[in-house]
Copies of this chain bind each other. A is one copy, B any other.
Amino acid sequence: MAGNSFGTLFKLSTFGESHGEAIGGMIDGCPAGLLIDFDFVQHELDRRKPGQSNITTQRRESDRVKFLSGIFEGKTTGAPIGFTIENENQKPADYDHLKDTYRPNHADYTYEQKYGIRDYRGGGRSSARETACRVVGGAIAKLLLAHYHIQVQAYVSTVGHVILEKTYNSLDLSKTDDSIVRCPDAETADRMIGLIEATRKAGDTVGGIITCVINGCPAGLGEPVFDRLHADLGKAMLSINAVKGFEYGEGFRSVHLKGSEMNDRFVSKEDAVHTATNHSGGIQGGISNGEAIYFNVAFKPVATIMQKQHSLDKKGNDIILEGRGRHDPCVLPRAVPIVESMAALVIADHLLRHKTSRIN
């Protein structure tokens, strides 16, 4: 059972390699009657595309999405939404030297072990180019969520040792895209940019953390015992290239808290049940409780570095590799819309799943 579909009721399937003719996919299960804002979808893609700023790869691709089905007179029809994005920047010959090489921390070796064959051109299916399709699916999901007044917003909260100390609820998230690094705090953003530039000059790469906040999510989403809301969010995030960790609410910090410190007291506000604090991260017992959902996603540094590295070729011979081409010194800024997209897909799916929870 191959794993190129995500979701149960709102389901995204993707296909495509970085240097094939096109990447694409389909969204099955989007309710009929949703008005599609095509400019918004393209805008989301533009937030992910290479070449958008000095601190991302200088590779240029226009990443125009072409919708092929499922939309009629501007609205979804209930039929699957098929789409493609052409690969304009195909230079397969650039990769001939990698044909028999295992690059460190890339998927070269494992794909070959799994499939016995490998499309070595630009990472093939393992390339993060595939995530452009997730952004298309996520943009449609966001439009569905907007209909229910649910908002998904992510931002870069850590790059290497530069850490944004402010918490999600003390930030103005509308400012995230004001900075090319997508950190809503201007001063921290500047330091992050400085670090990324210095790292690039050193021919190295750097990781970081993206924090995501979901506001307006109603209580009741999540399907225990296995499909807890945060379990599906976690899987969604861990399926993104370079992600090494996920935590929600207090996350790993909760390890050091006592129960009396961790518990969120229920309080009544304007005749509604709320919690006075939100250590839980908006999810209790695997089900949303109506408070803000927030979580952190850890990204490792990019594997391709502009330094000499030892490695092996297929025959087991020691070789020296040196990165070339146009790569990101830090994927975090471009990963913000990917994190949002995967989160939106999960919430859209659970929103639909929840519709059958009760008889009335």
Contacts and interface: CB of A to CB of B under 8 A. Distances in A.
A93 interface: no
A160 B273 contact: no
A38 to B, nearest CB: 14
Nearest to A300: B254
B8 A224 contact: no
A346 to B, nearest CB: 11
A119 interface: yes
A63 interface: no
Given A68-B15, A69-B17, A224 B126 contact: yes
Interface in A126-148: 126, 130, 144, 147
A170 interface: no
Interface residues of A, number: 150
A31 B359 contact: yes
Interface in A12-50: 13-17, 20-26, 28-29, 31-34
Nearest to A280: B105
Contacts of A239: 225-228, 231, 286
Contact of A28 (B13, B66, B301, B357): B13
A55 B286 CA distance: 27
Contact of A259 (B69, B225, B303): B303
Interface string A144-169: 10010000000000101100000000
Interface stretch (A77-85, A174-182, A185-193): A77-85
A287 interface: yes
A6 B262 CA distance: 29
A116 B262 contact: no
A91 interface: no
B2 A78 contact: yes
Given A21-B66, A224-B125, A359-B34, A251 B262 contact: no
B161 A285 contact: no
Contacts of A255: 158, 160, 207-209, 298-300
A290 B80 CA distance: 24
A15 B301 contact: no
Nearest to A130: B225
Contact of A309 (B111, B222, B263): B263
A8 B1 contact: yes
A114 interface: yes
10 contacts: A5-B28, A13-B80, A15-B82, A102-B266, A111-B287, A160-B255, A244-B247, A245-B251, A260-B309, A355-B355
Given A113-B290, A255-B298, A262-B300, 19 more contacts: A2-B28, A15-B70, A21-B66, A23-B82, A24-B69, A34-B359, A78-B114, A79-B124, A104-B265, A107-B285, A109-B266, A110-B220, A110-B286, A111-B287, A225-B239, A227-B239, A250-B300, A254-B299, A273-B312
